[in-house]
Structure 1
Amino acid sequence: MQSERGFSIVIKKYGNCELDKIAKMTLEGNEIQLWLLHWEDLLSWITYYRKIMSSQEQEYVNRFVNYDDRMRSATGKILTRKLLAHYMNISQEKVEISKSKYGKPILENNHEFLLSFNVSHSGKIVLVAMARGRIVGIDVERQHSMPDYLSLAKNFFTDKEFEIISNANNEELFFDYWTAKEAYVKAIGTGLNKELNSFEIRGNKIIDSAEQSSKWIRRKVYMQEGYIANIVYQLTGGT
């Protein structure tokens, strides 16, 4: 387990080797749990625990034609359900997750627990973020060659963001901004129904005139080579 502190919020990082310690964990209001799992090393774990997924979740996972996609999806859903059950002190099968208007997974009967979660996966990595009393969003991308990244930045980012990326001539910086923006629209629940140029990444802050009542922070997640990820969280409380 690793910890880092930013803006009074502690981000605690966990991995495969901590999966058997969930029953002893706590989740305080000033911390975010960030799980980074390598799903290829968890095939037996996935096979054993996939039974705890709801019938709807299993149906969703099975729709994926690609084996890797099924395993990534199952890993995120299983871990999310195990964590929520632990922090709600109920059985894993009794965790009820619905979806919002734009498809964001939402925990039912959450008024007492104020839990927020988000999942992202790419390549060999599955990320799960869990918080109490504040909304979180997470996004990870396996970095790959993208010759048209400047055109994408010009079309989808703000003028200032495009200028920064263009001047840096840095493809990795493009992925940094992209994952930060994806994490934000996942956190607020709109997904890509919200234009990515309708808000701006300024350092660690997210400036969005439509969300003036909340302060949003983004933190780059330091990953193994070839992957870029960002986590976004609400500085002021809320779920």
Structure 2
Amino acid sequence: MELEKGVQRWIVDISKWNPSPDYFASVMSFLPQHEHSPITRFVKMEDRKRALVSRLLQYALVQQVLGIPYDEIIIRRTVEGKPYLEYDDKTGTFPNFNFNTSHDGNFVAIASEPVCLVGLDIANCSIPMKESVDKFIQNFLSYFSNLEWSDIMKADSSYDKLNRFYRYWCLKEAFVKAIGVGVGKRLDNVEFHHSDWNDIFVIVDGTEFNNWRFWLLEMGENHLVSIARGHPATATTNYRATLKQTEFGEKEYKLGLNLPSVHFMFRMVEDLLPVSIVACHHYMDRIDIVSEDGE
């Protein structure tokens, strides 16, 4: 089914990518100029790597799925900061192509959907040094419903308590990112229910959102990934204005809601670059080798 091509899950392990400053700059130069300052504003290289790879994933995925040349891709952001693609879908293949990125710890990832909203969140399940689990999670009490907090606190061990905390947190983040809400959204009214972390559903302000689906995955060592898929009509006003279609018949919407959620594909940073740039880097590397040999 052509629609399934719009369901993509890509992930990069940045711990395995250690570019020199010059190579980092050359990779960043392929992005539009307005994408540079959000990357270079970070002081630490690890943060710069996450910001760069997040943007590379967006451009590479759009190019591969929609066939839009890199230099014609236009990605903008709503006032709340949610990225969206500005394009004319002349084929009508994907009624609502949209994507979401996330990064934490070692991983940077992107997920896309052709019909439904998509939200993605990665959580590195760690706590600040010299801080206990109880003290750490107590800072976030106001973001959880009474039911969620009770479930977290009744865990048998500190490890399980932290794991439950991050599972709920990851799900909440994926949901609010899907609808396009900015930082600061209250989360205690977004209450998640599950059966041993399967059959996950959400209740918002007392109303069950039965036209949504959620996935919660373990990724690598000590990382969680959550994906939310839901109805475009649920999006914020600003993000809804960027979508091609927000109203669907039940049959049409269920087709998008029930599409298979594919496995994450691991990508190398070089996989995200235009072929011409990759070839150029290989050529320059070869020149350096020849120069060192003196031949």
Q: Is the pair's TM-score, using the shorter chain for normalization, greater than 0.5?
A: yes
- TM-score (ref. length: structure 1): 0.78
Q: Are residues 152 and 136 of structure 1, via their aligned partners in 2, closer, same or farther at CA, if it must alter by over 3 Å?
A: same
Q: Which moved more, 1:104-113 or 1:56-65?
A: 104-113
1:96 pairs, out of 74, 77, 81, with 74
1:164 pairs, out of 151, 158, 165, with 151
- Residue deviations 1:36-74 (CA, integer Å, cap 9, x gap): 211233456966643331211112111111111111111
Tell which has more relative contact order, 1 or 2 (C-alpha 8 A, sep 6+).
2
Counterpart AA for 1:158:
S
- Residue deviations 1:160-185 (CA, integer Å, cap 9, x gap): 11111112251110011011111111
2:11 pairs, out of 25, 36, 56, with 36
2:34 pairs, out of 41, 46, 56, with 56
Paired residue total: 214
Q: How many percent of aligned residue pairs carry the same amino acid?
A: 25
Match of 2:36, SS? helix
Q: Which residue of 2 aligns with 1:15?
A: none
- Residue deviations 1:170-204 (CA, integer Å, cap 9, x gap): 11100110111111111111033321112111121
- TM-score (ref. length: structure 2): 0.64
Match of 1:187, SS? helix
Q: Distance in 2 between matches of 1:27 and 1:152?
A: 46
Q: Distance in 2 between matches of 1:159 and 1:213?
A: 19
Q: Is the 8 A contact 1:98 1:108 kept in 2?
A: yes
1:1-239 aligned within 5 A = 28-29=3-4, 32-43=7-18, 49-109=27-87, 111=89, 112=92, 113=94, 114-145=96-127, 146-169=133-156, 170-203=161-194, 204-209=200-205, 215-234=211-230
The structure whose Rg is larger is: 2
Q: Is the 8 A contact 1:117 1:136 kept in 2?
A: yes
Q: CA deviation at 1:88?
A: 2.2
Q: Are residues 43 and 211 of structure 1, via their aligned partners in 2, closer, same or farther at CA, if it must alter by over 3 Å?
A: farther
User: RMSD in angstroms over aligned alpha carbons?
Assistant: 2.8
Match of 1:148, SS? helix
Q: Distance in 2 between matches of 1:200 and 1:213?
A: 11
Q: Is the 8 A contact 2:117 2:232 kept in 1?
A: no
